[in-house]
Structure 1
Amino acid sequence: MTSSPGQKSELDDIRLVIFFSVDQMSPHLLNQYEPLYTGGFRWLIDHSHQFTNTHYEHGYTATGPGHFVLASGQHPGPNGILGNYWYDRELKHTVSCVEDTVSKVVGYEGDARSYRQINTNTLGDWLKNRHPDSKVYSVAGKDRSAAMMGGKHADLALYYNWHGSFITSSYYIDALPEWLIKYNKKLNAVSYRDSLWTRSLPFEVYDRYAHEDFLEGESDRYHSEPYSPVFPIGFDADASDKDVVDGFFGFPWMDRATIDLAKVIVQEEGLGQDKNPDILFVGLSATDAIVHNYGPNSHEAMDAMLKIDRYLKNLIATLEDEVGLENVLFVLTSDHGGLALPEYRQKMGLPGGRISRPERETAVQDVFILLEKHYGSSDFVVNDGLGFYYDLGRMREMNIKKTDVDTIIRERVEKVTGIARVLTKDEIFSSHPGDTVLARLKNSFHPVKSPDLWILQEKYWVTKYPRGTGHGTPYDYDTHVPLLFSKAGQKKTTVSRKIMMVDIAPTIAAMLGINIPKDIDGVPITEMQK
């Protein structure tokens, strides 16, 4: 069932929605460098309704679940989206959130990905239900970003294949459009072998806004002997072609390529050219790799944002020429937040730490040794990431009590420095709504598919090891992201009340005057309906 169509007012002229998701862009990452923006970020901020207290309300804050929320208006867990990957009990192996074993890759090598396995409809699907001639396109560095945002009936979802090209699967089309073949040839990712990533502004500016360029805890991916995580950054002389096209993903050039491809889609597919509103989702994925490697307060993260600011300026200029900015609604947000490097937090006198991978792996190994000792077997338990999955049928056959296994795992794993608790699925599902952490984890859990035990790390601790930083927790620093709705003629306004990220899709639907499903978790944001 659906509600009545949303009410449109002065926004009746929206012919194109451009939805930007900048991967792992915390509010700090966007706002820290705002005085330096002169391009696309500057325009989007100056013409925005900016919401400063926006949070995801699920616990495993990762790319797949985040982009699912953005497009569907629903929490991920109950819909079977447990993470980027998870262990499938029936298949007995790890699967991708956008797994597609039916489709084939079209035109290039890589993995066929799509929305095939997901039953939930999304914003693009709602739009096409109301306006069958509307177009929905999605492009991102990551396959899960593109497929999740595009939804079930996207005209095309494009993603990088880690071999130098943007690809798609036969779920969407059987043959590549000529413009994509031409674009990939022009991209020529392997030619970046001799390129260097250098600063956009003088060193002194970075020294003023970011922490020092050489900070213990940053990853060193160029001339790493001796350890020296500093600009400039490029590819080592002995890098293979595969190393180059794979490593390309971790440079701002990846986001430039994505934005350039977005321009091509607008021009070649004629987006925003009639009264049937179109949507183009643009996922900028390189920021995630950059922040993971260097932290959000680094020279590298700062420079990536400054470069995106410049790249977006070019896209906005194209949209002005092709569509007219008065006909475009922009949305800017992220799929999850993130945490500063533990070493930086410690230097600033703040709590934080890094969970030792060897210590955690030893604890898991000990768990299986203990299970073997108690039961003569351990094949009824699988560890995948932060979860432990039980074969309950096998446990019944062996007359093994679930609570006894819970205790064995808990007592050993909770000794690992930086791990707060090991939670049972029952504890998560029976949690009180007032417990924000457990309530968010509940929104990440499925009653059947989810693990039986889940490892919750201490607040301000990361699992990234031995360097870099991470995300994925139910804590506010991982759930908090920016949210801007921008349009030509809009005066900058700021709203500080709390907004849930499940509200974004129904808000856009209401602004476009399309039906909003009644069974979703989000509601239109009232400030955007005036």
Structure 2
Amino acid sequence: MKRIYLLFAALLLISSGASAQKKSNKLPSANPSSSSVNRPKLIVGMVIDQMRWDYLYRYANRYSNGGFKRLVNEGFSAENTFIPYTPTYTACGHASIYTGSVPAINGIIGNDWYDPQLKRNVYCAEDTSVTSVGSTTVAGKMSPKNMLVTTITDELRLATNFKSKVIGISLKDRGSILPAGHSANAAYWFDAQTGDWISSTYYMTQLPAWVQDYNKQKHADQFYANNWNTLYPIDSYGQSTADNKIYERRTRGEQTPTFPHPLKLYMGKNYEIIKSTPYGNTMTLDLARHAVAAEKLGQNNTTDFLAVSCSATDYVGHQYGPNSIEAEDTYLRLDKDLEAFFNYLDQTLGKGNYLFFLSADHGAAHVPGFMKENKLPGGLFDDAPVVKDLNQIFNEKYKIKKAIITAMNNQILFDHDEISKSKADFEEMKAFTIDYLKKQPGIMNAVDLNKLSGTTLPEQIKKAITNGYNARRSGDIYYILLSNYFDGTSTGTTHGSWNPYDSHIPCVFMGWKVKPGKTNKTHYMTDISATLAAMLHIQMPSGCVGEPITELTHQ
């Protein structure tokens, strides 16, 4: 009996051991939702092109409760967020938000720059090795190859072994391509020649069926049919100047820059015009909704990323200025579009299951005519005659026909080859140019970019110029304009300076793991990617110099 008992016990131990061994050899679940890393279903990054920080509050009395007000009330706002470099342009802003880096590192020093090796201007997203998809025009010969580092969207793809879907959408190619990053599944932008949303062979060989179907509906023509009139009675626009101002730019075919804008004139003819109306933003967010539905973004087991840039605000701002009724109406309409977009995300993914952030690539200066009208400082600067005069002086003294190749991005670029051949004293030429520039109306100062550290510029401006300087792509001399001066025309406005009206931008997070709150501590646009990396527990982009917004991440 004792022998039988011992045999039974031995069999029981063997059976238990085999069972334990079987359990220990069991593979871990492939479902990311069971992982210890908790992430949202979807991240939506939204860049509002040319949105000054004060626009969060300027029109607040007319905003709905579900748009910008919901963002501010339910979200966390870093109220004192700045662009840490100059010049402040669209491509630089989008690249720096998503790389957490600055032009000195990411290489995107402007929308365009002069390449001394190619001896021509280069567009930030140009790529002659690819072709258009969805169009027979050259508008699709674009890719992110000129951006030298990774983006937060790239890092999400890397962290999930490329299971996460990343899609970029914007009217502007650069507003879609740069945020989506190098490894994106897709980027779509608007071809103004055809009125269609397109891509490039960098991403795909043909448009997906849902984009083709969207294009067939010709939404631009549908909006043109309604013209552009104010959303509310025109005399109720209390944050704007009068409608008819000589410093606002007329659209071709219009007698005055006033409401209603007769968009029917352009149906089936000119799709460029739709970008300078609030309907450009409406179409962008509509396509974004279609992307969420068709690509099932945030509806699988891996976190996806949708990068959206609303560019119509920039086109409207450039044409009419920050104090126009057109600008006010555009933001009031965008507020309603934003509310509808939030409601769609709530219904599709569930409130609190997605992480949303909003920022801007730059702000805007007031129109000089408006400033003069109100006895405020401001004006125009034209670099063309300055370059012409300097080239004439250098030709007479050194026999160099064109010593200065161009002036762009607030920089003077010399022809180093020709200067070397002439055996001219380059240091002497730069010193003369700086002295000459300082005497020009509208210029505050000018500096040799190779001797920036030794200048007497205020540290904030010196740092901004340093962060914007890329040794391979930047010029030789940087000139700083007086407050509210810019190189442009007497109608409309632009941007590009270090000043707060161009560099103070919104930075608001809402949704997944975000508690309502505000901070007035100084932050920078480069902190956005660093914050996302901290929240998602993924690596920062490869050139990131930003720091997490700890007031948000430590809540």
**Residue 167 (structure 2) aligns with:** 137
Equivalent AA in structure 2 for residue 485 of structure 1: F
2:507 aligned to which of 474, 477, 483:
483
> Is 2:334 the counterpart of 1:308?
yes
**Residue 337 (structure 1) aligns with:** 363
Is residue 11–residue 511 contact of structure 1 (8 Å, CA) maintained in 2? no
Is residue 105–residue 148 contact of structure 2 (8 Å, CA) maintained in 1? no
d(CA) in 1 for partners of 2:117 and 2:253? 45
d(CA) in 1 for partners of 2:336 and 2:295? 24
**CA deviation after TM superposition for structure 1 residue 292, in Å:** 1.2
Matches within 5 A, 1:251-262: 251-262=277-288
Change beyond 3 A, Cα 1:513–1:78: closer
**Residue 3 (structure 1) aligns with:** none
Change beyond 3 A, Cα 1:246–1:51: same
d(CA) in 2 for partners of 1:303 and 1:77? 37
Is residue 86–residue 384 contact of structure 1 (8 Å, CA) maintained in 2? no
1:40 aligned to which of 67, 72, 86:
67
d(CA) in 2 for partners of 1:11 and 1:217? 54
Match of 1:436, SS state, is helix
Question: Larger deviation: 503-512 or 35-44?
Answer: 35-44
Is residue 199–residue 303 contact of structure 1 (8 Å, CA) maintained in 2? yes
RMSD over aligned CA atoms reads 2.3
Equivalent AA in structure 2 for residue 198 of structure 1: N
> Is 2:486 the counterpart of 1:462?
yes
Change beyond 3 A, Cα 1:93–1:13: closer
Equivalent AA in structure 2 for residue 230 of structure 1: T
Matches within 5 A, 1:149-228: 149-163=179-193, 164-190=195-221, 192-206=223-237, 208-221=238-251, 224-225=254-255, 228=256
Number of residue pairs the alignment of both structures matches: 514
**Residue 5 (structure 1) aligns with:** none
Change beyond 3 A, Cα 1:433–1:281: farther
**Residue 150 (structure 2) aligns with:** 121
**Residue 261 (structure 2) aligns with:** 233
**CA deviation after TM superposition for structure 1 residue 332, in Å:** 0.8
Match of 1:440, SS state, is helix
Equivalent AA in structure 2 for residue 369 of structure 1: Q
Is residue 96–residue 102 contact of structure 2 (8 Å, CA) maintained in 1? yes
Question: Larger deviation: 390-399 or 82-91?
Answer: 390-399
**CA deviation after TM superposition for structure 1 residue 224, in Å:** 4.3
**Residue 81 (structure 2) aligns with:** 54
Is residue 133–residue 140 contact of structure 2 (8 Å, CA) maintained in 1? no
Change beyond 3 A, Cα 1:190–1:395: same
Q: Deviations over 1:198-236 (max 9, x none)?
A: 111122320x222222233111226544xx322111348
Match of 2:113, SS state, is strand
**Residue 317 (structure 1) aligns with:** 343
**Residue 346 (structure 1) aligns with:** 372
Change beyond 3 A, Cα 1:489–1:363: closer
1:106 aligned to which of 87, 109, 133:
133
Q: Deviations over 1:134-189 (max 9, x none)?
A: 11111011111111101110111111122211111111111110111111111343
Match of 2:315, SS state, is helix
**Residue 450 (structure 1) aligns with:** 474
d(CA) in 1 for partners of 2:37 and 2:368? 45
> Is 2:278 the counterpart of 1:248?
no
d(CA) in 1 for partners of 2:252 and 2:133? 33
**Residue 4 (structure 1) aligns with:** none
Give the TM-score normalised by structure 1. Answer: 0.92
Is residue 125–residue 142 contact of structure 2 (8 Å, CA) maintained in 1? yes
> Is 2:392 the counterpart of 1:364?
no
Is residue 44–residue 330 contact of structure 1 (8 Å, CA) maintained in 2? no
Is residue 100–residue 541 contact of structure 2 (8 Å, CA) maintained in 1? no
2:112 aligned to which of 72, 81, 85:
85
d(CA) in 1 for partners of 2:294 and 2:208? 10
Is residue 388–residue 451 contact of structure 1 (8 Å, CA) maintained in 2? yes
Question: Larger deviation: 196-205 or 62-71?
Answer: 196-205
d(CA) in 2 for partners of 1:307 and 1:326? 25
Q: Percent identity?
A: 29
Is residue 222–residue 235 contact of structure 1 (8 Å, CA) maintained in 2? no
Matches within 5 A, 1:381-392: 381-385=404-408, 386-392=410-416
Query: Unmatched 5+ residue regions in structure 1?
Result: 1-8
d(CA) in 2 for partners of 1:468 and 1:351? 16
**CA deviation after TM superposition for structure 1 residue 490, in Å:** 5.5
